Amino acid sequence: MERAEHLYQRLVQICGERNVLRDEPMKNHTLVRIGGKADFLVWPETYEQVIEVLRLKEEYGLPFTLLGNGSNVIIRDGGLRGIVMQLKHLNRIWREGNNVIAQSGADIKAVSRFALEQHLTGLEFACGIPGSVGGAIMMNAGAYGGEVKDVLDHVKVATLAGELKTLKKEELELGYRTSLISRTHDIVLEVVFALQPGDYKQIKEKMDDLTFQRESKQPLEYPSVGSVFKRPPGYFAGKLIQDSGLQGKGFGGAEVSTKHAGFIINKNNATAADYIATIEMVRKTVKEKFGVDLELEVKIIGEE
């Protein structure tokens, strides 16, 4: 049997046929609707399956990519080699005391809603962030003055070698849209958020207000990655881009949003090449006009 077929059979043995896809277009699995094919896309249903897949990729010496909801990645048009893993089936959310515990494949929005239903406060800021819990930890996601760091207690991870560990918040080096995980590439499996009892009506009002602000300012009617760039110290990326006259400009199907200049939208079947060319055009123009280097928040991965 050829090696690829053999590998496919092994992945099916571990995760089941319905959870292993071959040559899968990743634009079907990113929010920006961009991305070439993955050799193998797998969706484990248990932590044991996650570990077994990690062991298999070691055995085969294969490249490995972990994705959450694909809300903060651009996958180049040549796609991803080896194994791509998403934990969307590991999405349980429950309460223990004032803690909310979530598996990493749960939507952070769903965890925020669950906290509301439980009359627990602290996760209101996350009500509109379209990522998974795992992605939110890795990115220390935040909005409107709150961030994951404010409410995190600890996480359970699997290392790339397949070892299970618990990491306390203090060990995670959570900074502005970054964490220790971006260096170690550990796989977040389970997260404990420490919340406080709160008033349902007040929590709901805050979430409604944040949702209104988001919907009125962001181009949510188009696929995007959210803010493409990090906030440069002393500036706002969106304002610099707006003042550079770049709104409405772009390459191919990609365009700097006319509603919020910090967003690049997939307006019309953009390729990754269109999107990346638009990013580079923005960076170059802002550097020329204002001398500011825009650092990427979005992750660009895969082959050209």
Ligand X SMILES: Cc1cc2nc3c(=O)[nH]c(=O)nc-3n(C[C@H](O)[C@H](O)[C@H](O)COP(=O)(O)OP(=O)(O)OC[C@H]3O[C@@H](n4cnc5c(N)ncnc54)[C@H](O)[C@@H]3O)c2cc1C
Site map (CB under 6 A) of ligand X, residues 259-298, x = contact: ----------------------------------------
Q: Which of residues 143-162 bind ligand X (CB under 6 A)?
A: 143
Question: What is the C-alpha separation between 96 and 194, in angstroms, rounded?
Answer: 10
* Radius of gyration for the alpha carbons in the chain, expressed in angstroms and rounded: 20
Tell which one of 19, 49, 71, 118 touches ligand X (CB under 6 A): 71
Cα 41 to Cα 31, 32, 88, 164, 230, distances in angstroms:
16, 18, 12, 22, 29
Question: What is the C-alpha separation between 268 and 255, in angstroms, rounded?
Answer: 9
Question: What is the C-alpha separation between 28 and 5, in angstroms, rounded?
Answer: 23
Give strand pairing partners of 265: 224, 255
Of 200 and 235, CB closest to ligand X? 235
- Tell the smallest beta-carbon distance from residue 272 to ligand X (Å): 14
Of 223 and 252, CB closest to ligand X? 223
Q: Which stretch binds ligand X (CB under 6 A): 16-24, 51-59, 222-230, 248-256?
A: 222-230
Tell which one of 173, 180, 299, 300 touches ligand X (CB under 6 A): 299
Q: Which stretch binds ligand X (CB under 6 A): 6-14, 131-139, 203-211, 246-254?
A: 131-139
Catalytic residue numbers read: 177, 227, 297
Indicate whether 210 belongs to the interface with ligand X (CB under 6 A): no
Tell which one of 19, 103, 104, 112 touches ligand X (CB under 6 A): 104
Closest CA to 272 of 290, 255, 254, 289: 254
For residue 190, give the amino acid letter. E
Q: Which of residues 20-39 bind ligand X (CB under 6 A)?
A: 31
Indicate whether 106 belongs to the interface with ligand X (CB under 6 A): no
Tell me the site size for ligand X, rule CB under 6 A: 32
Indicate whether 42 belongs to the interface with ligand X (CB under 6 A): no
How crowded is the C-beta side of 120, counted as CA atoms within 13 Å?
21
User: Taking a C-beta distance cutoff of 8 angstroms, is the pair 151, 195 a contact?
Assistant: yes
Question: What is the C-alpha separation between 181 and 133, in angstroms, rounded?
Answer: 13
| Contact set with ligand X (CB under 6 A) | 31, 66-73, 87, 104, 129-132, 134-136, 138-139, 141-143, 181, 187-188, 218, 220, 224-226, 299
